[in-house]
Amino acid sequence: MNISSHKTKIKRLASGAKLVHISSPRLPYSAIGAFVRAGSRFDPKDKEGVAHFLEHLCMTKTKRFHTAEERFQKLESFGIDCSASTHKEFVSFYHTQTHERTSASLRLLVDGLNYSWFDEQDVKRERAVILDEVSREEGERGKVIWKAGSNLLWPKSLLGRSLIGNKDSIQSISFEDLASFRNTFYSSRNLVFVVVEQKDGFKEATRIIEKEYKPQKHKDIVYRDRFLSPVRTTFQKPLSGLQQDDEHLDIGLYFRISPPKNIRDRVTVSFIRDYLSNTWISKLVEELRFKRGLTYWVSGDSDYFSDTGYLELAFSTTKNNVISALEICFNEIKKIKAGKTDNAKELKNHKTSKASHIIKSCANPHTLFQWYGEDAVLGAKLLSPHDYIKEMNKISVEDMQVAANKYFKKKNLSLVILGQRKKTLEAEVKELIKKLF
């Protein structure tokens, strides 16, 4: 797939909303949707989960469709798949469909944004659904670790709170809370439309939105947040309702990072993540799995918000191997900070692996929808996959060294260990951090 053939057009619409249009001739289907800067970070105090609760209720009933069933039947009859998700700083609503249904799908999306409504009975019904979702997440190791990790990364920030809320906060959310949140944050200036399709349908998408979308007034919000905190370590209790192997622990290693000031910095941090994790040739998979058999896999993740970000490394191992595994992780990070990474040929292999992953993922229209939409709603500079790969191929050992020394500092480090708390192990972990950082 020739990803350089992607054409991107951006326009600020009369309503104040933004349109990002991506055309690529070989896409198998189209993806359309909207990003709204109204994520969980903006939940009111003691009302964790409002943003996520509202996402569940939006795009169900409208003036045109008096029940959720009626609306979804219409979407399905057009072959349109729809979904939505809530993130820390935004929510997204999206449809995927065959190319000939793109315009019809966009009109249905605009109808949902204009005329979504809900009542007290809808709130009551959806509350039970979300409480079930909260219970499910309590049994998912990855989400338990991330919840604890985000609380450590941003203990004094709204970012550190649960994205979907907890049982008490969900019970406290009222119809008025949801209506107020929508009126405050679902404004046109907080909205980005994204259309991904084969043809250059930019003019058609612009015409539909300009004609049919009803502008929503914007409210200026005074918003402050805090991030600074010392290095922190926490032991999470074993998951309730699940068999917990006392010998195995799940580990999440987190570094808080500031938003990159330039494209090179942004791409370099992402490259370091995949240099250390996520692939068969990554350094931690090589060291922890192939050479020592200490874990099955090492996963990595990273993301940026408008004013902060993080890098995560996650794996599991036995209780007796925690210190050895962590020491290997810290030593691999130290090598990058010292400029002692792989030679040019091996570094090229890492770049080829990452480029291949990007190229293959770009065959999925929804991937492109997320690629451009997430940056657009946060006001970041849009970088095409093609330009991203070009920038990545320029990364040197020195670039990695500079980025690692900037972000991989003790004051930015947090560590989550899921399992039975052992004071002796906790003391060893703290001593190891003190020794290697």
What pLDDT digit, counting tens, does each position of 231-264 carry?
Answer: 455 545 444 333 345 688 999 999 999 877 788 8
In which band, very low, low, confident or very high, does the pLDDT at 404 lie, cut at 50, 70 and 90? very high
Least confident of 41-55, 141-155, 383-397: 141-155
In which band, very low, low, confident or very high, does the pLDDT at 436 lie, cut at 50, 70 and 90? confident
Is the pLDDT confidence value at 224 over 70? no
Is the pLDDT confidence value at 15 over 70? yes
CA separation for the pair 80, 95 (Å, rounded): 6
Q: What pLDDT does 419 receive? A: 81
Q: 232-436 adopts what CATH topology?
A: Cytochrome Bc1 Complex; Chain A, domain 1 (3.30.830)
Domain residue spans of the chain: 3-212, 232-436
Q: Residue 90: how many CB atoms within 10 A of its CB?
A: 28
Is the pLDDT confidence value at 437 over 70? yes
Q: Residue 194: how many CB atoms within 10 A of its CB?
A: 26
Instruction: Tell me the average pLDDT of the chain.
Output: 90
Q: What pLDDT does 122 receive? A: 95
Q: Which CATH superfamily is domain 3-212 in?
A: Metalloenzyme, LuxS/M16 peptidase-like (3.30.830.10)
Q: Residue 73: how many CB atoms within 10 A of its CB?
A: 12
Express each pLDDT in 355-371 by its tens digit: 999 999 999 999 999 99
Q: Do domains 3-212 and 232-436 have the same CATH topology?
A: yes
CA separation for the pair 195, 411 (Å, rounded): 41
Q: What pLDDT does 1 receive? A: 55
Q: What is the 3-state secondary structure (H, E, C) of the chain?
A: CCHHHCEEEEEECCCCCEEEEEECCCCCCEEEEEEECCCHHHCCCCCCCHHHHHHHHCCCECCCCCCHHHHHHHHHHCCCEEEEEECCCCEEEEEEECHHHHHHHHHHHHHHHHHCECCHHHHHHHHHHHHHHHHHHCCCHHHHHHHHHHHHHCCCCHHHCCCCCCHHHHHHCCHHHHHHHHHHHCCHHHEEEEEEECCCCHHHHHHHHHHHCCCCCCCCCCCCCCCCCCCEEEEECCCCCCCCCCCEEEEEEEEEECCCCCHHHHHHHHHHHHHHCCCCCCHHHHHHHHHCCCCCCCEEEEEECCCCEEEEEEEEEEHHHHHHHHHHHHHHHHHHHCCCCCCHHHHHHHHHHHHHHHHHHCCCHHHHHHHHHHHHHHCCCCCCHHHHHHHHCCCCHHHHHHHHHHHCCHHHEEEEEECCCCHHHHHHHHHHHHHHC
User: Residue 280's closest CA among 305, 253, 298, 261?
Assistant: 298
Residue holding tokens 């943003």?
Answer: 51
Is the pLDDT confidence value at 165 over 90? yes
Residue holding tokens 């989400």?
Answer: 143
Residue 153's Cα: distance from chain center in Å?
Answer: 15
CA separation for the pair 249, 426 (Å, rounded): 13
Express each pLDDT in 114-131 by its tens digit: 999 999 999 999 999 999
